[in-house]
Structures are given as C-alpha cells and as structure tokens.
Chain A
Amino acid sequence: MSNSRFFYVTYIRTTPERLWSALTTKEFTEQYWLGAFCESDWKPGSPWKLSFTDGRIADAGEIVEANPPRRLVIKWRNEWSAELKAEGYSLCTFEIEQVEGAEAVKLSVIHEIDRPESAFIQAVSGGWPRILSNLKSLLETGSVLLPKKA
C-alpha cells in the first residue's frame, strides 16, 4: 500500500443539516475540537485553517469540495511541526448520509496522505476518535465530555 489512510465512522442522532453546520461553524467547532477551531468560508478553492484558541495555527489548507450537507473535502497540512509539515498535503473527506428509517446520520471521516507510514496520519489518528465522540455527544446531548484539551 503506497498511502496512509484512516477511516472513521460514527452514527449521530441528528440531521445532515445540523451536522454540516457543526462541521463548518467556527463557534460550533470550538466546542468539540479539543481546544482548537476551524475557519473558512467553505467554498471550493477557499483557504481553510485550524487554529488553537491562543491564536497559533495548527493546520491549514484549502477547501477542495463542498456539497452541503453531504460531502466536504479539505486539502490539509500541518503547520506547527516542521516534521509533519514536510510530509505535505493530506486529504480529509467528510461524508454525511441519512440513515434510512432512523433519525440519525452516518458520518464518515477519511483522512489520507499519499505516502506510506505517514507520521502526520499517525498523529491525527489519536485526535479523531476523541473529536468525533465529542461531536456526537454535543449534537445528541448538547454538551461535550472532554471540554478543552485532553
């Protein structure tokens, strides 16, 4: 296998529209992203960035595809670690599907980079399960389990 990829799925009792807004609203991301938040105007070709609450930029890139409330693709590079930044751009895809016959949506997050044994993909793989659990908890109960840094 020539690339590194993680593939996460979570089912959330919410609507595709609410989930889309949770992924693309700064104030919303701030609540579940473990002490960071995302900013962009979420249009293809526009810049995207993930900042820590103290203002430092964690990761940055560009919106590749935005098809609300179904599919969002971000070109994504680490900005604060020279080693991770040197790996170049990764691709992060969010797919939102309504679960048939239930008031729930399936969220898939695929994060991949075109190189084997990527340290960047390894690094984000520790964060995604926590962020996704927080997001699920926030949408379903209105509060998060891991408020800031964990």
Chain B
Amino acid sequence: MEMDDVFKALADASRRSLLDRLHVKNGQTLNELCEGLAMTRQAVTKHLVVLEEANLVTTHRQGREKLHYLNPVPIHQIGERWIKKFERGKLTALSELKRRLEGEEK
C-alpha cells in the first residue's frame, strides 16, 4: 500500500529529478520546477500528482502560489525498514568509499 506508492513514484528518473530539484531548493512553484527542464508542463504536473499521492511531495498555498516541498519522511521510513541502525555506519563508510573511488576516476 503506502510503500508501494513510494517505490512506484521513485521508479521514474523524471520524478527523481523533480525531487532532486526540490532538495536543492525547497518550496518551488510549478513554474519554477518547469524552468530549464526538457519536460512539458503537463508532464511535470502529472509527475507531481504521483509524487504527492506517494506523500513524497507536499504542497502549501502561499497567497496565490502553490509551493511544492520535498517530504523525505517516507524515504526515511524505507531506510529504517531495511537498514538497521547497526548497519548504518558500515553503509556510510561504503558509500563514502564508492564516492571517493569513482570521483578519483574522473
């Protein structure tokens, strides 16, 4: 149920890129989110609906504007579900190793 929605929403690269944009700058309007993207406005709107239904994006009205916010709580819950606290340290070390090794290749 709710977790299925989260995985489905995350299974699309365009939707993940929208989340990345909100991670860089939280609280954007639809217009701001569309700027510089290869997607049509309709496509962005459709993706935002999926993200909202999965509770990965929340919206807040401010005056006439509708602002979109990244809601990382469900992603965190997935992490907690499969990544226990004792594994966290090891995984962080591995991610860091991967980042460094791959960074050095460039």
Contact = CB atoms under 8 A, between A and B. Distances in A.
Interface of A: 1, 5-11, 108, 110, 128-130, 132-133, 136-137, 145-146, 150
B85 A146 contact: yes
Closest 7 CB pairs of A and B: A7-B69, A129-B76, A145-B80, A9-B58, A10-B73, A129-B72, A7-B58
B57 to A, nearest CB: 9
B71 A9 contact: yes
B95 interface: no
A7 B71 contact: yes
Contacts of A10: 55, 73-74
B2 interface: yes
A9 B77 CA distance: 12
B80 A6 contact: no
Contacts of A7: 26-27, 58, 60, 69, 71
B3 to A, nearest CB: 12
Interface bracket on B: 10 to 19
A100 to B, nearest CB: 16
Contacts of A9: 55, 58, 71, 73
Contact of B73 (A133, A145, A146, A150): A133
10 contacts: A5-B26, A8-B58, A9-B55, A9-B58, A9-B73, A132-B76, A133-B73, A133-B77, A136-B77, A150-B85
Interface in B57-76: 58, 60, 69, 71-76
Given A1-B27, A8-B58, A8-B72, 8 more contacts: A7-B26, A7-B69, A8-B71, A9-B55, A9-B71, A129-B76, A133-B73, A150-B85
Contacts of A130: 76
